[in-house]
Structure 1
Amino acid sequence: MPTGDSAAYSMLPPTSARSSVGDIERMTTSSSDDAASSQITLQSYSSSSRKSRIDPRIISDAIIGLSDGLTVPFALTAGLSALGNTHVVIYGGLAELIAGSISMGLGGFLGAKSEAESYSATQLQTRKKIIADQAGVEEDVKSILDDVGLPDDLGEQVTRCLIDGSEERLTKFLMRFEHSAPEPPSNRALVCALTIAMGYFVGGFIPLLPYFFVSGDDVKQGLLWSACVMVVTLFTFGYVKTAAVHGSSDLHLVWKGIRGGVEMTVVGSLAAGAAMGLVVLFSGESDSV
Structure 2
Amino acid sequence: MDSKTSTLQSEPRSEIALAPKVSGSLGQDMPHGEDHKSPGPYMRDVILGFSDGLTVPFALTAGLSSLGSAKLVILGGLAELFSGAISMGLGGLLAALTERSHYFAEEQRERDEVRDTPQLEREEIYVLMEEYDVGRDAITPFVDALAANEDKWVQFMMDFELKMEKVEKKQAWISAGALAGSYFAGGLIPMIPYFALKNVTDALFVSIGVTVLMLLIFGFVKNKKTVGTTRAGFKGAAQTLVTGVLAAGASYGIVRALDSRNPVYA
TM-score by length of 2: 0.82
Amino acid at match of 1:260: G
- Looking at structure 1, the residues matched to 28 and 38 of structure 2 have their Cα atoms a distance apart, in angstroms, of 12
- Looking at structure 1, the residues matched to 163 and 24 of structure 2 have their Cα atoms a distance apart, in angstroms, of 30
- Looking at structure 2, the residues matched to 269 and 132 of structure 1 have their Cα atoms a distance apart, in angstroms, of 57
Query: Relative to 1, partners in 2 of residues 1:162 and 1:283: Cα closer, same or farther, differing over 3 Å?
Result: same
- Looking at structure 2, the residues matched to 268 and 246 of structure 1 have their Cα atoms a distance apart, in angstroms, of 21
Choose which of 172, 176, 186 in structure 1 pairs with 2:155: 172
Counterpart of 1:121?
A: 105
- Per the TM alignment, residue 150 of structure 1 is displaced from its structure 2 partner at its CA by 4.5
- Looking at structure 1, the residues matched to 60 and 143 of structure 2 have their Cα atoms a distance apart, in angstroms, of 59
Counterpart of 2:77?
A: 93
Counterpart of 1:265?
A: 241
- Per the TM alignment, residue 79 of structure 1 is displaced from its structure 2 partner at its CA by 0.8
Question: Deviation string for 1:216-268 (max 9, x for gaps)?
Answer: xx1111001100000001111111222223212xxxxx233213212211221
Indicate whether 1:47 and 2:30 are aligned.
Answer: no
- Per the TM alignment, residue 141 of structure 1 is displaced from its structure 2 partner at its CA by 2.0
Counterpart of 1:157?
A: 141
- Looking at structure 1, the residues matched to 77 and 23 of structure 2 have their Cα atoms a distance apart, in angstroms, of 50
Choose which of 205, 208, 214 in structure 2 pairs with 1:224: 205
Question: Deviation string for 1:139-196 (max 9, x for gaps)?
Answer: 1122233444546444111111112x12111111111111111222231221111111
Q: Is the 8 A contact 1:206 1:230 kept in 2?
A: yes
Counterpart of 2:194?
A: 211
Q: Is the 8 A contact 1:71 1:204 kept in 2?
A: yes
The runs of 5 or more residues in structure 2 that have no matched partner are: 1-19, 31-36
Which of the pair has more CA radius of gyration?
A: 1
Indicate whether 1:142 and 2:126 are aligned.
Answer: yes
- Looking at structure 2, the residues matched to 49 and 225 of structure 1 have their Cα atoms a distance apart, in angstroms, of 52
- Root-mean-square deviation (CA), in Å? 2.5
The runs of 5 or more residues in structure 1 that have no matched partner are: 1-38, 249-253
Which secondary structure state, in structure 2, belongs to the residue aligned with residue 83 of structure 1?
Answer: coil
Choose which of 94, 110, 114 in structure 1 pairs with 2:94: 110
- Per the TM alignment, residue 125 of structure 1 is displaced from its structure 2 partner at its CA by 0.8
- Looking at structure 2, the residues matched to 49 and 79 of structure 1 have their Cα atoms a distance apart, in angstroms, of 55
- Per the TM alignment, residue 207 of structure 1 is displaced from its structure 2 partner at its CA by 0.4
Query: Relative to 1, partners in 2 of residues 1:170 and 1:45: Cα closer, same or farther, differing over 3 Å?
Result: closer
Moved more, 262-271 or 181-190: 181-190
Query: Relative to 1, partners in 2 of residues 1:183 and 1:133: Cα closer, same or farther, differing over 3 Å?
Result: same
Q: Is the 8 A contact 2:22 2:29 kept in 1?
A: no
- Looking at structure 2, the residues matched to 179 and 287 of structure 1 have their Cα atoms a distance apart, in angstroms, of 56
Which secondary structure state, in structure 1, belongs to the residue aligned with residue 167 of structure 2?
Answer: coil
Amino acid at match of 2:206: W
- Looking at structure 1, the residues matched to 187 and 29 of structure 2 have their Cα atoms a distance apart, in angstroms, of 33
**Sequence identity percentage:** 35
- Looking at structure 1, the residues matched to 131 and 181 of structure 2 have their Cα atoms a distance apart, in angstroms, of 42
Higher helix proportion: 1
Counterpart of 1:30?
A: none
TM-score by length of 1: 0.76
- Looking at structure 2, the residues matched to 180 and 202 of structure 1 have their Cα atoms a distance apart, in angstroms, of 33
- Looking at structure 2, the residues matched to 198 and 95 of structure 1 have their Cα atoms a distance apart, in angstroms, of 15
